[in-house]
Structure 1
Amino acid sequence: MILMKPTYSIIGPGRLGRALARAIAASGARVAAIGSRRRVRLRGLSAPITLDPATAASAADVVLITTGDSDITTVVDRILSSRNSLDGRVFLHCSGILTSDVLEPLRSRGASIGSLHPLQTFPLPPPPPAIFHRTTFYFEGDTKARSAARRLVKRLGSSLHLLRPGDKILYHAAAVMVSNYQVAIFDGALKLLGRCGFSRADGRKMLSPLAARTTKNLTARDPSSALTGPIARGDLEIVRMHVGQIRKRSPDLLPLYCQLGLQAVAVARCRGRNRRLDEIARTLRGAAG
């Protein structure tokens, strides 16, 4: 049975842990304890901080493990070594790639387990609790843990979707591509502008509106409709000019440009077969080596 107003503990007050702790407290629920490897100051939170994850786990009905992926098993071992009763408690880790199997030893001691991952990026300082209003959580685990996760997500003003355990790695790879690799692409574009004499600060000002508009377009339509530029138009000569200048002035970025260009060709082909796209693809493959 899940309590109508469960208490929560956070183990791992990093970027996500801090954001969740603040959002849970702002929702009116009680954060009973925060488990940390070292003493930290968390503004706006009155929850006691403990260096012992077992103490944090025993203080609440629902325990959120928000450590790095490689630390989750260590946390589990520390909790198990305490010999505290885990009956009725729910443990949710927030890794985007690991399944709830990593928490299986806790289930053998009476706990319910699951993985609950918010598909969002969390900067420092922690964003306001409203960030979760635009965030979807993805869950896999047992039935009781799912009920607890659904209740928490609803409290945060978010939505919950179920994920099959076997899909988590590809799910995480997709998130990395759209978030982390977008940063890498942006950095590559800044380097090209740097070859033109622009500072990185000026480059960010130049490119940020374009990046924001592209993201907005992608939220409203399919990539095949959002794609613009020379490949969408089948403009082979411009692609050749790009390749020539990048090879001459920033050759380290040529493989990235070509690989992304080939993916853009695949997107553009969704609109229909175009002989110019075949020529562009041959040019990009040849330039990439």
Structure 2
Amino acid sequence: MEQHQSATQRPASRLAVGVVSAGRVGATVGAALTRAGHRVVAASAVSDASLARAARHLPGAEILPPPDVAAAADLLLIAVPDDAIAPLVASLPVRPGQIWAHTSGALGADVLRPAREAGALTLALAPAMTFTGRDEDLERLQGISWAVTGEAEARFVGEALALELGGEPEHVEEADRARYHAALVYAANHLSTLVNDAVEQLRAIGVAAPERLLTPLVSASLDNALRHGDAALTGPVSRGDAGTVARHLAALEGTGVEYAYRAMARRTAERALASGRLKSADAEGLLDVLAHPEKEETSE
């Protein structure tokens, strides 16, 4: 118990933070660490956009090359694309006793193994949030979950940092990181694609403000799904209304959206069947329409 307390209290001291790099995630998390009482002393930034973000969110940070950022930090925050983490780690100096954390949702702490073997405390600390590069990103960190992966002491430090940042730590095993991240991407990124596709279809038929039209519907659907699971499912698939689904597919032909509609309708039918929302007898015609495009019929 004493070990747990000392480890979790470690980030409570004022840490010198280095950020590599000042992209959408790095600049925002760096700003959140500043708000929690730490000092971002150095950051790397190359593009005009990154330099602007560093100036706005990390005003006290000296802009330095990544090796110099690492050398200056007690806590090194690595916020670069997933595939860039391993080669970056191999190129940076390590000071024993440093804390190294990356923000990738898909990768665990093992990608930081060279730093751990050199004496650093290493962890994966990924915010369950999407980042747009706008100022509201910082406020959206309040109350979110942070996926924490690392060995015992590192995990305790990650949990403490998540709490300091106003969030909730969620321990994710090393082997589960890819599946964890896939779930988040499936929900967040695909939702954006679905909504934007719907907006384009409505705009194409002359709806002047499709965003306004969709906001209450999509907001209610999301709230119902999170509150009630499969019991919230409504619509033609849950009713087994094959004729309506066939008309939808015909109307969407040539837009590119019909392929996504067909795939999601199949998955929706599977969930509706498994949860008892859709009866097997009612599903036969629907599944036939979804499985065989040539059998789609439209009413005249």
Q: Normalised by the size of structure 1, how large is the TM-score? A: 0.88
Distance 1:76 1:139 in 2: 19
Where 1:263 maps in the other structure, the secondary structure is helix
**One-letter identity of the residue aligned with 1:213:** A
1:255 deviates by 1.7
Deviations 1:223-242, CA, capped at 9 Å, x for gaps? x1121111122222222222
Alpha carbons of structure 1 residues 38 and 258: separation in structure 2 relative to 1, 3 Å: closer
Q: What residue number does 2:100 align with?
A: 91
Distance 1:129 1:229 in 2: 37
Matched, 1:146 2:155: yes
Where 1:132 maps in the other structure, the secondary structure is coil
Shifted more, 161-170 versus 270-279: the winner is 270-279
Alpha carbons of structure 1 residues 245 and 229: separation in structure 2 relative to 1, 3 Å: same
Q: What residue number does 2:212 align with?
A: 205
Assess if the C-alpha contact under 8 Å between 2:110 and 2:174 holds in 1: no
Matched, 1:256 2:260: yes
Assess if the C-alpha contact under 8 Å between 1:36 and 1:49 holds in 2: no
Q: What residue number does 1:53 align with?
A: 66
Assess if the C-alpha contact under 8 Å between 1:26 and 1:129 holds in 2: no
Q: What residue number does 1:266 align with?
A: 270
Distance 1:74 1:6 in 2: 29
**Which of residues 175, 178, 191 in structure 1 aligns to 2:184?**
175
Matched, 1:70 2:78: no
Where 1:151 maps in the other structure, the secondary structure is helix
Where 1:117 maps in the other structure, the secondary structure is strand
Alpha carbons of structure 1 residues 241 and 288: separation in structure 2 relative to 1, 3 Å: same
**One-letter identity of the residue aligned with 2:85:** I
Alpha carbons of structure 1 residues 170 and 128: separation in structure 2 relative to 1, 3 Å: closer
Where 2:56 maps in the other structure, the secondary structure is coil
Assess if the C-alpha contact under 8 Å between 1:10 and 1:65 holds in 2: yes
1:97 deviates by 1.4
Distance 1:38 1:15 in 2: 12
**Which of residues 223, 227, 237 in structure 2 aligns to 1:220?**
227
Assess if the C-alpha contact under 8 Å between 2:28 and 2:57 holds in 1: no
Distance 1:206 1:198 in 2: 9
Distance 1:78 1:288 in 2: 56
**One-letter identity of the residue aligned with 1:10:** V
**One-letter identity of the residue aligned with 1:27:** A
Query: Which segments of 5 or more consecutive residues in structure 1 lack a partner in the other structure?
Result: none
Q: What residue number does 1:246 align with?
A: 252
Where 1:133 maps in the other structure, the secondary structure is coil
Matched, 1:278 2:284: yes
Deviations 1:183-217, CA, capped at 9 Å, x for gaps? 22123223322442335xx2222222222221111
1:128 deviates by 5.3
Distance 1:165 1:258 in 2: 34
Q: What percentage of aligned pairs have identical amino acids? A: 25
1:3 deviates by 5.5
Assess if the C-alpha contact under 8 Å between 2:141 and 2:167 holds in 1: yes
Deviations 1:3-44, CA, capped at 9 Å, x for gaps? 541412221111111111111112222223223345714225
The ranges of structure 1 where at least 4 consecutive aligned residues each deviate by more than 6 angstroms after the TM superposition are: none
**One-letter identity of the residue aligned with 1:43:** R
Deviations 1:64-109, CA, capped at 9 Å, x for gaps? 10111222234313313xxxx5111110111111222221111121
Where 2:41 maps in the other structure, the secondary structure is strand
Assess if the C-alpha contact under 8 Å between 2:30 and 2:57 holds in 1: no
Distance 1:38 1:95 in 2: 21
